[in-house]
Structure 1
């Protein structure tokens, strides 16, 4: 698919009203963040973000300022990689966790101890720490962790590595500013979380949902139902292909339709814990296409994760449920490594 067919070319250049908040299916708000450079604009945006994080834990942003041209190149280079023959992709494969290429994206539901067949996708991923030297990476926790691996880059397409690194720089800057807005939304100083993310172990992952020519197994999805288990996720999803759903209540799944030029934002388990349960880390999944639809779909999440040794403690006031559980704190890296190992563990 040519990039000009995939994106609304003006989506990031002609922002909506700075105070505009609309809704996707009445549950996930769409927030124009183009006013985030002004003091009054940041206060209004923080209020909208806080409301979203208390209800669905999800919101969609437009007016973010990341050039559509860069997103187009990212889409094109990444799709070209996944369309290579398996033998070419396998040159950077067979590694644990979100590192390098994997023909199977794991079994996401296993991170919540739910048993389902493997997810129907391929993945490629890198970590911001993956460009460090061996000794620096080995110091990132005295346990197995995917962010301790060196990045592996494909040689084809030729522009792949440069494009991914350029995109990673841009998406990290956006995520860092969103985190500052989250701090404001919680009534904290804007830089409250900065020292917990100044050595972050974040990852950038591409999910390639290949054409489904065979009938899925029972309970097998493109991505099984799960919560993200870190801080903040910034997701690009292909504009013309749906599939992402968010759980509302006990059993109502809501579509999060792809809006041209947007990113989907959601908080993870660590952030929900951090807020004393006031914000929610919500179950979501990627459903299979209609049986007549044998096209592929691409999504690229950036998982903004704290420093591996950050101590995550609930901020008061706690919700009644969090208060009943008593004081709890986790080491960010240990928590994320445990969840990642579950996700990629062999099915029982």
Structure 2
């Protein structure tokens, strides 16, 4: 397949759990995920003004003085704060500001989300000097989480499961949000062509918006060829991660993707990713409708244990700028 499927969610948004409107959307979703594991969705209900507001806050962070921006940097293992992945010459390949659903352990405890893993709930890091920053991201986070919930309901139906099958596993979701910036690369021939190496995402669904001077997101098709994902202002890119693939017993793949540099030195790119992650104590095991005569291909694993393994194997092996010291 050389094109990314585009699915209009509009007919299903009046009630993803029932009605004739959801059925054709479910069928399209099933085909898209089975064929490539990626799709774009339109008619998703997330206001364009909210997306624009989130990008505007990213520009504000980029405009901060170096010392103020560096104060947001945290150790990469925390998945909170600002991270800068650098190449062998110390040049920034990509920059990400990340936070999760719960602001800190106190907030997680109040919602009953800790699940025996208090170490997971490291405090979020916010640029307090930017008025309205946190409020904007909280609105964006809730809007994209709601979209992810709708998609999970539709996906459950695609697996011939009840529409609310995934509601409980994501009732206390620890969704990770990542505001990503890929800066212009130098004109010399030494710069990296790949700004984010090939990988598949860790969790359930990823809901991603992208914009920029060029189309830099590529996915690897089943034939091994790289397919460029078009940039559409009205669309979110959707892909499934390793945990959701495990739920399907590997029937639906977690698609490998990467980000490449633009063709011109001045090219830059931004994206906002919502990694919809289940409750930390959710036990992920293949669903009954996906386990045939061959049995289960995967052992049960908690979302917490999987996320730790993923971090150690895929994330912490890269080189990042160190946090500022007092």
With the length of structure 1 as denominator, give the TM-score of the two structures.
0.81
Does 2:325 correspond to 1:345?
no
Partners of 1:278 and 1:319 within 8 A in 2: no
CA separation of 1:335 and 1:67: change in aligned 2, threshold 3 A: same
Does 2:31 correspond to 1:60?
no
In structure 1, C-alpha distance between the alignment counterparts of 2:247 and 2:253, rounded to whole Å: 10
Does 2:225 correspond to 1:245?
no
Q: In the TM superposition, what is the alpha-carbon distance from 1:210 to its structure 2 partner?
A: 1.0
SS in 1 for 2:219: strand
In structure 1, C-alpha distance between the alignment counterparts of 2:160 and 2:86, rounded to whole Å: 38
With the length of structure 2 as denominator, give the TM-score of the two structures.
0.86
Q: In the TM superposition, what is the alpha-carbon distance from 1:75 to its structure 2 partner?
A: 0.9
Paired position in structure 2 for 1:299? 271
CA separation of 1:191 and 1:221: change in aligned 2, threshold 3 A: same
Q: In the TM superposition, what is the alpha-carbon distance from 1:66 to its structure 2 partner?
A: 1.1
CA separation of 1:223 and 1:135: change in aligned 2, threshold 3 A: closer
Paired position in structure 1 for 2:10? 34
Q: Which runs of 5+ in 2 are unaligned?
A: 320-326
38-47 or 301-310, which moves further after superposition? 38-47
SS in 1 for 2:125: coil
In structure 2, C-alpha distance between the alignment counterparts of 1:212 and 1:239, rounded to whole Å: 14
SS in 1 for 2:69: helix
Partners of 1:276 and 1:317 within 8 A in 2: no
Paired position in structure 2 for 1:19? none
Q: Which runs of 5+ in 1 are unaligned?
A: 1-24, 107-116
Partners of 2:206 and 2:240 within 8 A in 1: yes
Partners of 1:236 and 1:300 within 8 A in 2: yes
CA separation of 1:73 and 1:150: change in aligned 2, threshold 3 A: same
Give the root-mean-square deviation of aligned CA atoms.
Answer: 2.8
Partners of 1:120 and 1:220 within 8 A in 2: no
CA separation of 1:241 and 1:139: change in aligned 2, threshold 3 A: same
CA separation of 1:238 and 1:83: change in aligned 2, threshold 3 A: same
27-36 or 117-126, which moves further after superposition? 117-126
Cα deviation per residue 1:70-128 (whole Å; 9 max; x = unaligned)? 1111111112212323211112212333210112289xxxxxxxxxx998101101100
CA separation of 1:296 and 1:347: change in aligned 2, threshold 3 A: closer
Does 2:156 correspond to 1:177?
no
SS in 1 for 2:220: strand
CA separation of 1:326 and 1:187: change in aligned 2, threshold 3 A: closer
Q: Between Structure 1 and Structure 2, how many residues are aligned?
A: 311
CA separation of 1:346 and 1:276: change in aligned 2, threshold 3 A: closer
In structure 2, C-alpha distance between the alignment counterparts of 1:238 and 1:95, rounded to whole Å: 27
In structure 2, C-alpha distance between the alignment counterparts of 1:188 and 1:333, rounded to whole Å: 24
In structure 1, C-alpha distance between the alignment counterparts of 2:116 and 2:308, rounded to whole Å: 10
Does 2:66 correspond to 1:86?
yes
Q: In the TM superposition, what is the alpha-carbon distance from 1:129 to its structure 2 partner?
A: 1.9
